[in-house]
Amino acid sequence: MGNFTIATRESRLALWQAEHVKSLLEQQGNSVSLLGMTTKGDQILDRSLSKVGGKGLFVKELEVALEEGRADLAVHSLKDVPMELPEGFELACVMEREDPRDAWVSNRYASLQELPHGAVVGTSSLRRVALLRVLRPDLRMEPLRGNLDTRLRKLDDGHYDGIVLAAAGLKRLGLASRIRATFSVEEMLPAAGQGALGIEVRTGRDDVRTSLQHLAHQSTWLAVSAERAVSRVMGGSCSMPLAAYATLEGVQLTIRAAWGDAEGRHPLVTAQTQGPVLSLADASALGEQVAQALQAGVRALP
């Protein structure tokens, strides 16, 4: 049995996720404590992530804690984890995915379709902006940063007619009642890794990897490996309006991806493929195929 420290952001959702992993490890007989941290991504709220360093701002401080030995593992929302980890770090576990879809949250309007012309929708995701422009090009998109509670408070204070959030976070915090509608994946293709939790460790920590084995969910890991491969090939970051979502039936994996234009100047480019996958390498290769098809579609734009 091990004695582990989990590095985590201090937002309510991040702490829920870390506590969830802590509980599962303790059930196995391990002794586990939390090391709460505030990251630069949590501190910088007046600018979009694409302008201040990307999603890596949410994980850097946690990686420093791992490197210095103050923590043994870090729990992340997988969609916040950069596609390329720094040398000496690895993704040791991907847990079973929650609902991967986007949720519509509003105090006045039951759905996106009910919004009047020119209504204000809050989101700082370029992917969501691009997909929302396809559904409702007449709406006004305004930036929305901060943790989940901050975003909901800004909605409640009347800054937006509605906001779009990940359904998984709302459900994990017992806030599913705030969801007025859930977008189908056909309407709003999710971000790579959305709804899944990833656990990062220092390379060589076989003791931690062994303890995490029973937390891993293989079909989720295969799906998100394909999705993350799309983003990796595309150079995906929060500065790119990119979506990727995979599903697995038996050994057959279907991966869909979309590239949009947050400014609405170009049509949505989509690509899809499917094939058998028996390993993470197979899944990544399938994701790379979709990315190449997507790149070809983007290059063909006028």
Return the pLDDT at 29: 95
Q: Looking at residues 196-200, what average pLDDT do you find?
A: 97
Burial class (CB in 10 A: 0-12, 13-18, 19+), 218: exposed
74-101: pLDDT as tens digits: 999 999 888 889 999 999 999 999 999 9
What pLDDT, on a 0 to 100 scale, did the predictor assign at position 52? 44
Q: Looking at residues 221-236, what average pLDDT do you find?
A: 93
Q: What is the pLDDT of residue 39?
A: 62
Residues 95-136 have pLDDT tens digits of 999 999 999 999 999 999 999 999 999 998 999 999 999 999
Mean pLDDT of 31-56: 62
Q: Shortest CA distance to 248 belongs to which of 268, 227, 270, 271?
A: 227
CB 194 within 8 A of CB 252: no
pTM: 0.90
- Asked if the model's pLDDT at residue 294 lies above 80, the reply is yes
pLDDT of residue 238: 59
**CA dist 57 to 6, 45, 125, Å?**
18, 12, 15
**Predicted confidence (pLDDT) at residue 271 exceeds the cutoff of 50:** yes
Average pLDDT, whole number, for the chain? 92
Q: Name the active-site residue from 42, 80, 99, 102.
A: 80
Q: How much is the pLDDT for 263? A: 84
User: What are the structural domains of the chain?
Assistant: 1-95+196-216 (3.40.190.10), 102-182 (3.40.190.10), 217-302 (3.30.160.40)
Percentage of the chain beyond pLDDT 90 is 81
User: Is 161 known to be catalytic?
Assistant: no
Is residue 235 very low, low, confident or very high in pLDDT (cuts 50, 70, 90)? confident
pLDDT-derived band at 15 (thresholds 50, 70, 90) equals very high
- What CA–CA distance (Å, rounded) separates 40 from 93? 24
Radius of gyration of the chain measured on its C-alpha atoms: 19
Return the percentage of the chain with pLDDT > 70, whole number. Answer: 92
Cβ atoms within 10 Å of 3's Cβ, excluding its own: 10
Find the helix or strand (DSSP H, E) in which 171 lies.
helix 167-172
